[in-house]
Each structure stands twice: as structure tokens, then as C-alpha cells.
Amino acid sequence: MNRPALPRSADKPLFTPGPLTTSQTVKLAMVRDLGSRDGEFVAMVKHVRTELLDLAGVSQRDGYETVLMQGSGTFVVEAVVSSVVPPQGKLLVCINGSYGDRIAKMAEVHRVSVATVRAPEDQPIDPAAVEQVLKADDAITDVAIVHCETTSGILNPIEEVGRIVRQYKKTYFVDSMSAFGAVEFDFRACEIDYLVSSANKCIEGVPGFSFAICRRAALEATAGFARTLSLDLLAQWKGLEGNGQFRFTPPVQTILAFNQALAELRAEGGVAGRAARYRANHDCLLEGMNALGFEEYLPRHLQGYLITSFRYPSDPNFQFEDFYTRLNDKGFVIYPGKVSNADCFRIGHIGRLFPSDSRALLHAISDVVQEMGLELDPANVA
């Protein structure tokens, strides 16, 4: 699975969790001006909203709606947190990384009562632990979980947790920022009320807006809950439904690019096709990194294929900044680590990348290992 022979930009490939490398055709789709009330743009917004439902395997007919929100992924997470928990409600946040932590922090900022269920950063959330808290605390009204905790790359069991959340009749919020579009799951079997992601993750658009796929009945029941004006999820949906327009200046060019990105996702075989490419990127990279003597942070059976955290080698000559800069100088962008209990760096497999890119990165890493005089022992890698 090599990169198709299409014109490619001279920019460095981004092996990061975002912003991500996008195709030339996605970038070129933006080179236009359209007014926010232009019929073509309004029709495109409607089309994009419908396509996102389709990607999730749900439809308006089944009672689901897409709300687009200006801003990066954090903005739509905050829109949900600040708009859907009732005034006297309580949000249970499942935390095994910094994006779960951020949800709890947002709730505190908005004076929403919070409870937490924690797991170590190298372990998935335990559904039984969620059930225990729900059983013990009647005040909880909503539950939030991160799908792929991008801090480490771990995938959380959103379906098992969702079944429990439904059993206890709570509202269920899934932050699927770095997974949606490239991880297959059954939206309805997961019992999701709100799922969020952004334009510039696995759908491979450019940054600038984010979106929530909402169960309409849940959304309609949130009247009067919003704690902000601009991030009011219900008002944003009503605006989009009313005249097809955003309430405030729309991210026109980002939507133009996203429309093209959705067409490219379809052409690739939808979620299954994209998952296959990202998995191939991951498998190629992991095998090569292990052969060089780098070890991943997560146990193999928990490692997702979207982003991988690698432990710093024990060789005292290893300095991340030096490693990063040398790779950058050779034309490859990787990312610092984010887990709190180990020194790691991260390599993303998402965006417009192919196994041929993983192989090129491996060559560059091998050269940098030599330049830095690192002594790595592949035999030490479990």
C-alpha cells in the first residue's frame, strides 16, 4: 500500500496527532471564496452534516443530528460539556490520560459537578469500575469517556461502558477525536448520545471546525442548560436547522476542504478502508522501530493503530530535542510524549500517510540513531 502517484506538497509529512498531513486535492478545494449565505455553501453544509451521520452509521430518520462547531476539537468537547449537563446535574468523567483530565477541568470551569473513574495511563477504563460509581452515586446524570486516548494511543471500551450507561439511564458522551472515521464501531450498540471529533483528524480535512453527532431526543431535552453563548450546542443546531447557516462567521474554506476529504474517505472504502491504511502504517512502523531497539509504551494487546508512544531509550546519549531536531532536519515531524509516568515520544499513523512514509521515516530514524551514537538493543524489546 504505497502513496498513490498524485502531486504531493513539498511540506514535511506530519507523524503527529494533529494538525495532520492532508492531500493536495483537499488543500486545493479551499482556494475559493464563498459567502455564508451562498446557496452552494448552504447545500454543502447540509451535505457534510448528512455524510457525517452516514459515516457514523446513523441517520436523521433514526433520530440523529450533526452539529458543526467553529474551532478545534477542544471547542466541541467544551460545547458538549457546557451544554448538555443539567444545571443540577453531575458529570462522571472516565480518565486514563490528559484528554479525560481536560474534560473534568472543563466541567469545573463551568461549575458542573464532577465525579471521576480513573485508570492508569497504560490501562483501558474498566467498565465494572464505571458501574460501581453509577451504582453508588445517584446524582450522576452524564458520563464522558475518551475513545482513543491520544495521550498514549490506547482505545477505551466504549461499547461496554455505553451499555452500562444506558442501563443506568444516563446520558453518554464519547470524545472520539482521534478515532472517528478510522475505527469501526456500532454507534447505536454503543448507546452514544453525543460523539465528537474534528475536521483535521482521521477524516483528513484541515483544522478549523469540529462536530458533534447527537441523539436528537437527548439534544432537544437540553433547553436552558447551556452555560455559554457561542458554544451552545442546542442553539447551534437550531441555527443550522433553521436556515442552514452557522450562527457566527462560518469556517468556509475548512468546510470546502472537508467536503473533498469526505469524498476521498468514501473513495478509500470508508472507515474500513481508512482503518486498513492506518493499521498498515502502524504495523510497518512498529516492526521497524522494534527492530531498531525502540520499545512501545503500551502492552502490545492494548496498542491502537492511530498513534504510538515509544519509550525513550535508556542510552544516556538520547536527548529527545536532539532526536526531534535531527529528524525534522531530514524532513520528518514527530511529536513529544504526553503520558505522565514515563518518558516517551509519539509517532502518529493518521493523516495522508502511507506505509511508504513509515518506511522513509524508519530510514531517517536509523540514520539519526547512528549520528547520535545510540546503542540500542533490539533483543531488549519485549
Ligand X SMILES: Cc1ncc(COP(=O)(O)O)c(C=O)c1O
Site for ligand X, rule CB under 6 A: 17-18, 72-74, 77, 99, 146, 150, 175, 177-178, 198
Q: Which is nearer to ligand X, 146 or 374 (CB)?
A: 146
Cα–Cα distance, 232 to 227 (Å, whole number): 7
Q: Which is nearer to ligand X, 131 or 142 (CB)?
A: 142
Residue nearest to ligand X (CB): 73
- Which of 71, 37, 26 shows the shortest CA–CA distance to 259? 26
Q: Which is nearer to ligand X, 45 or 195 (CB)?
A: 195
Q: Which is nearer to ligand X, 72 or 281 (CB)?
A: 72
Quote the strand ranges of the chain, DSSP E: 64-70, 90-95, 113-118, 142-146, 148-149, 154-155, 171-175, 194-198, 209-215, 307-311, 335-336, 344-348
| DSSP H or E segment with residue 270 | helix 270-292
Q: How far is the CB of 151 from ligand X (least distance, A)?
A: 8
Q: Which is nearer to ligand X, 146 or 165 (CB)?
A: 146
Q: How far is the CB of 108 from ligand X (least distance, A)?
A: 17
Q: How far is the CB of 211 from ligand X (least distance, A)?
A: 12
Task: Give the residue carrying C-alpha cell 433547553.
Answer: 223
Q: Which is nearer to ligand X, 198 or 236 (CB)?
A: 198
Q: How far is the CB of 334 from ligand X (least distance, A)?
A: 15
Distance of CA 57 to the CA centre of its chain: 18
- Which of 348, 83, 365, 350 shows the shortest CA–CA distance to 212? 83
**What are the angstrom distances between the C-alpha of 59 and each of 14, 66, 82, 222, 250?**
33, 9, 25, 20, 24
Pairing of strands 335-336, 344-348: antiparallel
Q: How far is the CB of 208 from ligand X (least distance, A)?
A: 10
Q: How far is the CB of 73 from ligand X (least distance, A)?
A: 3
Q: Which is nearer to ligand X, 231 or 364 (CB)?
A: 231
- Which of 171, 169, 136, 172 shows the shortest CA–CA distance to 157? 172
Q: How far is the CB of 97 from ligand X (least distance, A)?
A: 8
Cα–Cα distance, 151 to 337 (Å, whole number): 7
